Each structure stands twice: as C-alpha cells, then as structure tokens.
Amino acid sequence: MTLVKEAISILKEHNLKITKQRQALLEYLSNYQHRYVDITQVDKYMHTLFPGMSHNTIYRNIKDFDNLGIIETQEKPSGACVKYQCDFGNLHHHHFICEKCGKVEEINLCPLNDLLQTQLPGYQIDGHRFEVYGVCDKCRKNS
C-alpha cells in the first residue's frame, strides 16, 4: 500500500472526509518522509494549488494529521516543521537528524523506556521524544 493510501485509510477510519485539498496535502507531505519541511513552505505550496484555501484550514489539517500519527512535527527556532510518518507500523520511534543536509534516520531502539521507569517509578508516562543531532555519514564524507 502506498504511503498516501495508508494515510487515507487512517483518515477514513476516523471519519474524516477525503477532500482534494487533503489528498494534495498528503501527496506533498509524502515527499518529506526522510526530512522535515517548514510549515510555512507547506502553506505556500498549498496556496499555489488552492489559492482560496485558508491558512487555518491548512494548519488544522496538519494538526489532524499529527494527532492521527500521519505526520510528525518538530519545533525549531525558525518555526514548526513537519515530516511524513516514516513508519506507520511503529509510531513509537526516534530519530537521528543530520544538521547539514536535514536527513532524518529512524532509530528503532528506545533507550528511554527503562530509564524513565527507573527514574520515575509509579509515574504514568504518556509519551516522549528522543532526537539525536549530528552529521550523517554522507555529509561527513563530503566535508
């Protein structure tokens, strides 16, 4: 199943209408499975396709996609960024992010589970994020 079809299935499961705008947004975001893109860039792109589409509609759809696990968001000093979910089968995962090229690599191991249970016994942990920053192998070789 293609990435977009998988996301459309998720939208349908949650009774969200499949509009031309949502489909176009999913198709655009699916190009960013391995790197983050600024939300302002997403907004500009959507306005080239649908000039009458409001900023609120775009941001509301992004929030809905994030809540459903279709995309992942990140706050940077320059503003919010999004990327398409890299692993629908494993929503709990972490990332290495290259500081030079922006490539995002999935980390399958979660080093925080045991640590959090040891450090916070009896607490209910509802979620966490773990991101490692550095320079990818390709960028290191090109330096």
Domain ranges of the chain: 3-84, 94-142
pLDDT at 90: 59
Give the global pTM: 0.76
- Is 101 within any annotated ligand binding site? yes
- Is 110 within any annotated ligand binding site? no
Give me the CATH topology for the region 94-142: Dna Ligase; domain 1 (3.30.1490)
Per-residue pLDDT in tens (0 to 9) along the chain, 143 residues: 477 898 999 999 999 999 999 999 999 999 998 889 999 999 999 999 999 999 999 999 999 999 998 998 888 777 888 988 866 565 667 788 888 888 888 887 777 777 777 888 888 877 777 788 889 999 999 98
- Is 139 within any annotated ligand binding site? yes
- Is 93 within any annotated ligand binding site? no
CATH for the stretch 3-84: 1.10.10.10
- Is 94 within any annotated ligand binding site? no
- CA proximity to 7, closest of 23, 19, 28: 23
- One fold for both 3-84 and 94-142? no
